[in-house]
Amino acid sequence: MTSQRPMGLTPHLFVRDADGAVAFYRTAFGAAELLRNSLPDGRVLFIELAVGPARLLVSEETPSLGALAPPTIGGSPVLLHVEVEDVDAVARRAVDAGAAVEMPVQEMFWGERYGVLRDPYGHRWAVSTAREELTPDDIASRTPPDV
Amino acid sequence: MTVNPVPPLTPAAFQVLLALAAGQAHGYAVMRFVEQVTAGTVRLGPGTLYRTIGRLLADGLVEEAEESDPAAPHDARRRYYRLTPLGRQAAKAEAALLQRMVAAAAQAGLLPPKELT
């Protein structure tokens, strides 16, 4: 019997102010809230979002569980990459909703229009739109000697 | 994404749209439909049903029917849903794509002969 439960990789983000973060992801990336689980005191254990065809989990920072948000650890070592239809429109919405631009949207040698943002909760996002379908050899020949 | 009016349908999403194509139904009926149409080989569990319908509601492909009791618990199995015009359009497009795939599979000898007629 085949289960229809979605398998695969799902980022799980810890934030200070889960409701605010979900509102931001809705505005910036069109995220839809699918499921929410809260403690009796109202603390959000997790919220499951759909972002395009992917899933995203968001939880309130809980130090006792080792669930630390970016401001607590002084940044984030992870870049979340989301491919969208119109990267410029998504980046504009994200910035209007409070994101900071780390790298402005621009044409990249691997065939994407691409930019990097930091959301108001400290998580880092690459947003991109594919422009050309390149082979690995094409990309290798366009790779700059240094970055 | 909000930038993409009809996102690609997951298999579970297509099965829900297919179950609602003949008319409105509650979640239990959708689950039974999937089990019957796949001869019991595919099961849509309550968690997946809830998430899939949540996604289809957010994307505007299905809507709750008026017969739903607004006070009913948040259990997709007991609520009534129907296709929106956008949902019907998405289901038609997916069915047409699958029809072309199945025709190609038959030509490639991947289906038993009786399916070729």
| In a domain? residue A147 | no
Q: Residue A105: give the domain boundaries.
A: 12-62+75-142
Which pLDDT value is given to residue B10? 86
Q: Which of A2, A3, A4, A26 should we substitute to test contact with B (largest number of B Cβ atoms within 10 Å)?
A: A4
> Is B50 part of the contact surface with chain A (CB cutoff 8 Å)?
yes
pLDDT exceeds 80 at position A79: yes
| In a domain? residue A87 | yes
| In a domain? residue A7 | no
CB B105 within 8 A of CB B43: no
Query: CATH number, domain at A137?
Result: 3.10.180.10
B42·A2 Cβ contact <8 A:
yes
CB A94 within 8 A of CB A121: no
Q: What average pLDDT does the structure give for chain B?
A: 86
Which pLDDT value is given to residue B2? 43
* Non-local CB neighbours of A60 within 8 Å, separated by 6+ positions: A14, A15, A16, A17, A18, A43, A44, A45, A67
In this structure, which amino acid lies at residue B66?
E
Q: What band does B72 get if pLDDT is binned at 50, 70 and 90?
A: low
DSSP designation for A62: B
pLDDT exceeds 80 at position B3: no
pLDDT exceeds 80 at position A126: yes
pLDDT exceeds 70 at position B32: yes
Task: Residue A118: name the closest of A105, A104, A100, A106 by CA.
Answer: A100
Tens of pLDDT, residue by residue over A15-66, are 999 999 999 999 999 999 999 999 898 888 999 999 988 899 999 999 999 9
Mean pLDDT of the B61-72 span: 78
| In a domain? residue A50 | yes
Domain ranges for chain B: 11-116
Give dist(CA B51, CA A144) in Å, integer. Answer: 43
Q: Does the complex come out with an ipTM higher than 0.85?
A: no
Give the 3-state secondary structure of residue B99: helix
| In a domain? residue A6 | no
Number of domains making up chain A: 1
pLDDT exceeds 60 at position A7: yes
Give dist(CA A85, CA A21) in Å, integer. Answer: 22
Which pLDDT value is given to residue A25? 97
B4·A52 Cβ contact <8 A:
yes
Domain B11-116: assigned CATH number: 1.10.10.10
Task: List the structure tokens of B24.
Answer: 């409105």
CB A37 within 8 A of CB A78: no
Which pLDDT value is given to residue A132? 86
E strands within chain A? 2-3, 12-15, 32-38, 44-51, 54-60, 79-83, 100-107, 112-118, 124-130
| In a domain? residue A81 | yes
pLDDT exceeds 70 at position A87: yes
Which pLDDT value is given to residue B43? 87
